[in-house]
Amino acid sequence: MTEPISIPHLLHRLEGRETVEFKAILPELTSLTPVQAKVQVTHKDSYLEIIGVAETIVTLTCDRCLAQYNHRLSIDTTEMLWFTEGGEEGKAEIPFEEDLELDDMVETVSKNGLFDPSEWVYQQLCLEMPYKNVCGDACEGIPKVSPENAQPEGDRRWAALEALKGQLPS
């Protein structure tokens, strides 16, 4: 696991940059293999630039057939974290033009704070989690139940129809 990086200390580094690599099981992420990651953090004037690649394999449950399957999760992301003066959120020093473009998608970080590469990687991997879990193109879903078993027991409408049918003259 990596140590959080002190953002002010980055200024003492060559080009304000630090690169960390790690291979670890992230406690919050249930992955089959350790997360292998490389994160480059650069101190720009008004923001922190993060360039990260990471990869792992997670076990997911198929939404259709409920079988478990392995899914390769990977990121190759560049993100800008705009500096805020203190610890407060939402007071980023964003130039006007970029403000329009970035809208409310802006992520901020305190310029005197810490940046935690493993936490960042974890968050990025979570964003990459598929919205819908399907084990594969060939998934046929849950095996079909035969029609007599499929009739829901408590379907009142059906029962009402049956009752009505009995009352009709044949």
Map the footprint of Zn ion across residues 42-81, applying CB under 5 A.
62, 64-65
Q: Checking phi first, is residue 66 left (phi over 0); if not, alpha (psi -120 to 50) or beta? A: left
- Token code pair at residue 147: 């029609």
| Minimum distance, C-beta of residue 129 to Zn ion, in the bound complex (Å) | 17
Report the distance separating Cα 83 and Cα 97, nearest Å: 16
Spell out, one character per residue from 1 to 40, where the chain touches Zn ion: x when CB under 5 A holds, - when not: ----------------------------------------
Q: Which stretch binds Zn ion (CB under 5 A): 6-14, 72-80, 105-113, 138-146?
A: 138-146
Residue 86 or 141 with smaller CB distance to Zn ion: 141
Which H or E run contains 119? helix 117-128
Instruction: Give Cβ neighbours of residue 72 (< 8 Å, ≥ 6 apart).
Output: 55, 56, 57
On whether the CB atoms of residues 84 and 48 are closer than 8 A, the answer is: no
CB atoms within 10 A of CB 7: 20
Report the distance separating Cα 118 and Cα 25, nearest Å: 10
| Minimum distance, C-beta of residue 84 to Zn ion, in the bound complex (Å) | 45
Residue 106 or 139 with smaller CB distance to Zn ion: 139
User: In 50-114, which ranges are continuous DSSP H helix?
Assistant: 96-102
Note whether 135 binds Zn ion by CB under 5 A. Answer: yes
Q: Which stretch binds Zn ion (CB under 5 A): 44-52, 102-110, 129-137, 152-160?
A: 129-137
| Count of residues touching Zn ion (by CB under 5 A) | 5
* Residues found near Zn ion in the complex (CB under 5 A): 62, 64-65, 135, 139
